[in-house]
A and B are shown apart, each in its own frame.
Chain A
């Protein structure tokens, strides 16, 4: 069999060039520069620098505050991903059954999607405000003396709530369209086989939703690791203090606030490697179990 292809060698290269140039300029070049500066300690203005080898990495590994924010990042990401997926799935399954007024109902659920993370953070700040936040009064009903920005746990709690709230609508839209693309015939057949609604959900609906779920899992992990930056930034109000911080926010705090170029470059490199590993893991192990129709 003859392979279809280009007759000239330069044409495919030419066609690829714009994309390659963009990747080179906006990813490879900065990444290479970041990798290089992670081995140096550099004057913020760039006048002088000292080669320190893996010194910046060793400093991080020995730093209790870095390890603490690594631990927080794991807990935070797991909670945000799990809660925003689970709540959105419940809402989608319920909304799928609604027939009358379905459109209004769905629109209301999707609304929050239009809110940008920093704005979500500001709304969270208002809700959790120390002296007049409505959620503070709600917490007080349970005898919970909630103080944002003072108590580590309370601040973390507020960050998780706001991040989950912000992410539910996106997941909801995808789950709902995933549910609606499941053929009627399959559902009806399942109805004959199994009388239990929850049994039908786990045996039929859930596996058929898996491709959507997998896509959402990846986007939600990315969201909880990276896009929550704006929420965390507004919640800590410019003073990191003893507030919880994710690793991405710590890169910003040390690099852009503290002007420690070498240390924050090392942190970015660590994050880059983590994301690489996670991507490989997700596609190698999880995607194999998912069947696309």
Chain B
């Protein structure tokens, strides 16, 4: 061996020695594309901000795939330290109480200041247990909001509607007249069921939306919800609403192409829309409500996902996870994540920082999601907790597809959803022993 390669080998062994002194943790997530870039930036910044810990983010596909991969890995004893779990999977993870360390416990055990009141009210309790203890750390929190094409609305001579009555009577006819498809939306179960409930402060399930018991029953076969869907079916027939399938992007594309004037999407879609340099001006506002149901509309649920600290890890690694969560919730990190993606800042401090920095003066639409989450709360707006909820959403999507493409009767479809969903909830109850 030459002297040079010996020296290189020595240098190499020194660097690996330095690397092993750090505690390494892994983070499995479901953020692809531009969101993935922003997420990787957070990890890089965390690694650069200190020398004790090293976090490695790993992209695991869709939300469903990331959850399944995390569960399979847990059963094999190979779980990551941090797993991103989306809203619909929350009941599965929180139900398995041995699988995760509640975030609140993790933080306090590792000497990190934690006060649930620091979090904005709309996100505070969604991933909490029935005692209001935070189990999952809200990470990418969004809310469904109404995006609109300013040029289209001006051409039609209308304003963005605040109520569905206004949409049906004034906005939609004028937009059709101006040559636009008035409305599309990207996630029927999330926007037109879950958040329909919270916006109107209607109960979504028994047991306080499922938070206080396992023998929960869903409440979707209700006159209010069915009236909304009957209206949708009518709107689709007379060209006020177009449905492009259950896929998110298929419904977003016609808005971006300028065919659809109003699109209901996620506040987290904002960053992506800004980057796309659309050929028209757009803005956003609150989700409309039905005046016939309430005159005091309430806040919406958060969507998106949260981060769970998986159990079965060493104390050093848990300390690293706590340090990472502390970094993640700092106002600066939250603000930059909010600015780049459109997801809401989860703490009041981060929200204040965004306001001070003038972010909302530059982009008023960026504030809509958080403002909507900060509207008055009601007894039914905390969130919901239902097991096998991914399958329940699939049942909803299937029946909504049948309502909108096969003309199936709304009453029949909702009776089917309610009975199949309740059968799934009962089955989930049995899995919990």
Asked if A46 is at the interface (CB within 8 A of a chain B CB), the reply is yes
Known pairs A152-B405, A242-B398; A48 contacts B247 (CB<8 A): no
* Cβ 8 A contact of A259, one of B92, B245, B405: B92
Q: Interface readout for B195-232 with A: 1 if CB under 8 Å, 0 if not?
A: 00000000000000000000000000000000000000
Within 8 A of B (CB), among A180-194: none
Asked if A7 is at the interface (CB within 8 A of a chain B CB), the reply is no
- Residues of chain B within 8 A of A259, CB atoms compared: 67-68, 71, 92, 388, 390
- Residues of chain B within 8 A of A205, CB atoms compared: none
* Cβ 8 A contact of A50, one of B75, B98, B399, B431: B431
Distance A262 CA – B426 CA, assembled complex (angstroms): 14
Asked if A222 is at the interface (CB within 8 A of a chain B CB), the reply is no
Asked if A41 is at the interface (CB within 8 A of a chain B CB), the reply is yes
Please indicate which of the listed interface residues B75, B248, B249, B432 has the most CB atoms of chain A within 10 Å of its own CB: B432
| A44 x B71 contact (CB < 8 A) | yes
Known pairs A43-B95, A50-B431; A257 contacts B64 (CB<8 A): yes
Asked if A111 is at the interface (CB within 8 A of a chain B CB), the reply is no
> How many whole Å from A268's CB to the nearest CB in chain B?
16
Report the stretch among A21-29, A101-109, A233-241, A278-286 that lies at the interface.
A233-241
Within 8 A of A (CB), among B56-77: 62, 64, 67-68, 71, 74-75
- Residues of chain B within 8 A of A258, CB atoms compared: 388, 390-391, 394
Please indicate which of the listed interface residues B98, B249, B401, B402 has the most CB atoms of chain A within 10 Å of its own CB: B401
Report whether over half of chain A's contact residues are helix, strand or loop; otherwise say mixed: loop
| A242 x B257 contact (CB < 8 A) | no
Q: Interface readout for A155-182 with B: 1 if CB under 8 Å, 0 if not?
A: 0000000000000000000000000000
Asked if B397 is at the interface (CB within 8 A of a chain A CB), the reply is yes
Q: Interface readout for B87-98 with A: 1 if CB under 8 Å, 0 if not?
A: 000001001111
Distance A47 CA – B406 CA, assembled complex (angstroms): 42
- Residues of chain B within 8 A of A149, CB atoms compared: 244-247, 250
Known pairs A130-B244, A259-B388; A43 contacts B401 (CB<8 A): no
Interface residue tally for chain A (C-beta within 8 Å): 37
Known pairs A45-B98, A256-B68, A259-B390; A240 contacts B397 (CB<8 A): yes
| B246 x A239 contact (CB < 8 A) | yes
Distance A258 CA – B92 CA, assembled complex (angstroms): 10
Known pairs A240-B397, A258-B391, A258-B394; A45 contacts B96 (CB<8 A): yes
Asked if A151 is at the interface (CB within 8 A of a chain B CB), the reply is yes
Known pairs A131-B254, A149-B245, A239-B246; A45 contacts B398 (CB<8 A): no
Asked if B192 is at the interface (CB within 8 A of a chain A CB), the reply is no
| B432 x A242 contact (CB < 8 A) | no
**Which 9 residue pairs are nearest across A and B when measured between Cβ atoms?**
A242-B401, A241-B246, A48-B433, A149-B245, A239-B246, A45-B96, A258-B391, A41-B430, A241-B397
Which A residues contact B (CB, under 8 angstroms)? 41-50, 52, 59, 65, 130-131, 147-152, 237-243, 253-254, 256-260, 262-263
9 contacts between A and B (CB under 8 A): A43-B95, A45-B71, A65-B395, A152-B405, A237-B247, A242-B402, A257-B64, A259-B67, A262-B431
Additional 18 contacts, C-beta under 8 A, given A42-B431, A241-B246: A43-B433, A45-B75, A49-B433, A50-B433, A65-B420, A130-B245, A131-B257, A150-B244, A237-B247, A239-B245, A240-B246, A241-B247, A242-B397, A242-B400, A242-B405, A258-B390, A259-B390, A260-B388
